[in-house]
């Protein structure tokens, strides 16, 4: 479905990442599943730009997006201008077949690279009200510590929910001299922490290269290939 959405609010998480809450005409909150995304339709050329939904399906009154400018991208520049102008956005929703409706019958591992955290946030917020019978592990990989704009929020969730574990991973620690946490690539960091991958359900948000490298490494360590889910498998299938 296509909607003309007013921008209800914009706040900044950090210097360049915005929290954008979209409203919907006549309060018609569109149905979607946790982990799905929407497309913003650009007004000049009709091009569709995907954004993971950062809020759970039950979030009201609107839908939360996290928007960060992409260097040297004309499409990103247009979206930044629309946000600055508080323009009405044309969106298509729902999109994507990488979603979750109920917690798996076993541990859940989520690997998020950069703004892939938004998809995982939606999934976590959807699962928490029903309670977590099994362990849930969220690994968030970023370039520098300054990119961890949701860390305080995630640590707060782990304090309230003992089955939820949050592990941030910085890949360029030389640019974050005060960082004392985990370093390296997010998929490899998680792989170091698990001896048995056979019963893990894994959701991955990142670039095609990152997702397929993670898939290969985890299958080699004993994870059934069917246990991993990512939007990449649909929009960039491996030949």
pLDDT at 144: 96
pLDDT in tens, 54-97: 999 999 889 999 999 999 999 999 999 999 999 999 999 999 99
Q: How far apart are CA 157 and CA 164, in angstroms?
A: 7
pLDDT at 125: 97
Q: How far apart are CA 207 and CA 236, in angstroms?
A: 9
3-state secondary structure of 126: helix
3-state DSSP helix/strand/coil percent for the chain, to nearest 5? 30, 30, 40
Average pLDDT over residues 168-178: 96
pLDDT at 27: 76
3-state secondary structure of 217: helix
Indicate if the pLDDT at residue 147 is higher than 90: yes
pLDDT at 215: 97
Average pLDDT over residues 111-121: 95
Tell me if 43 sits within 8 A of 59, measured CB to CB.
no
Indicate if the pLDDT at residue 46 is higher than 90: yes
Dump the DSSP string for 37-61: EEEEEPTTT--EEEEE--S-TT--S
Query: What distance lies between CA 173 and its chain's CA centroid?
Result: 22
The count of C-alpha atoms lying within 13 angstroms of the C-alpha of 99, restricted to the half-sphere facing its C-beta, is 20
DSSP lists the bridge partners of residue 9 as 21
pLDDT in tens, 214-225: 999 999 999 999
Angle, CA of 174, 179 and 181, to the nearest 5°: 115
pLDDT at 110: 98
DSSP lists the bridge partners of residue 66 as 19
Indicate if the pLDDT at residue 119 is higher than 90: yes
pLDDT at 161: 96
pLDDT at 60: 84
pLDDT at 120: 98
With cut-offs at 50, 70 and 90, classify the pLDDT of residue 152: very high
Neighbours of 91 (CB within 10 A): 23
pLDDT at 67: 96
Q: Which residues contact 5 (CB under 8 A, 6 or more apart)?
A: 22, 23, 24, 25, 62, 63, 88, 89, 90, 91
Q: Which residue intervals of the chain are DSSP H helices? A: 74-84, 117-127, 151-160, 186-193, 208-220, 232-235
Indicate if the pLDDT at residue 48 is higher than 80: yes
* Domains of the chain: residue spans and CATH: 2-95 (2.40.30.10), 108-235 (3.40.50.80)
With cut-offs at 50, 70 and 90, classify the pLDDT of residue 113: very high
Cα torsion angle, 159, 162, 183, 111, sign: negative
pLDDT at 44: 87
């Amino acid at each position: 479905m296509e909607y003309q959405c007013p921008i209800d609010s914009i706040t900044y998480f950090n210097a360049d990442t915005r929290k954008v809450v979209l409203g919907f005409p006549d309060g018609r909150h569109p149905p979607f599943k946790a982990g799905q995304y929407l497309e913003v339709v650009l007004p000049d050329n009709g091009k569709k730009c995907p954004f993971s939904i950062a809020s759970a399906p039950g979030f009201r009154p609107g839908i939360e997006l996290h928007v960060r400018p992409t260097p040297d991208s004309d499409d990103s520049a247009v979206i930044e201008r629309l946000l600055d102008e508080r323009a009405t956005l044309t969106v298509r929703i729902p999109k994507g077949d990488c979603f979750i409706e109920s917690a798996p019958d076993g541990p859940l591992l989520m690997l998020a690279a950069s703004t892939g955290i938004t998809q995982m946030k939606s999934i976590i917020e959807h699962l928490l009200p029903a309670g977590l019978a099994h362990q849930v592990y969220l690994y968030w990989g970023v370039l520098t510590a300054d990119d961890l704009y949701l860390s305080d929020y995630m640590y707060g969730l782990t304090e309230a929910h003992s089955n939820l574990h949050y592990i941030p991973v910085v890949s360029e620690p030389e640019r974050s001299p005060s960082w004392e946490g985990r370093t390296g690539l997010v998929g490899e960091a998680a792989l170091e922490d698990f001896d048995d991958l056979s019963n893990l359900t894994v959701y991955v948000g990142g670039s095609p290269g990152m997702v397929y490298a993670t898939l290969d490494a985890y299958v080699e360590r004993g994870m059934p290939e069917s246990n991993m889910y990512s939007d990449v498998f649909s929009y960039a299938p491996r030949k």
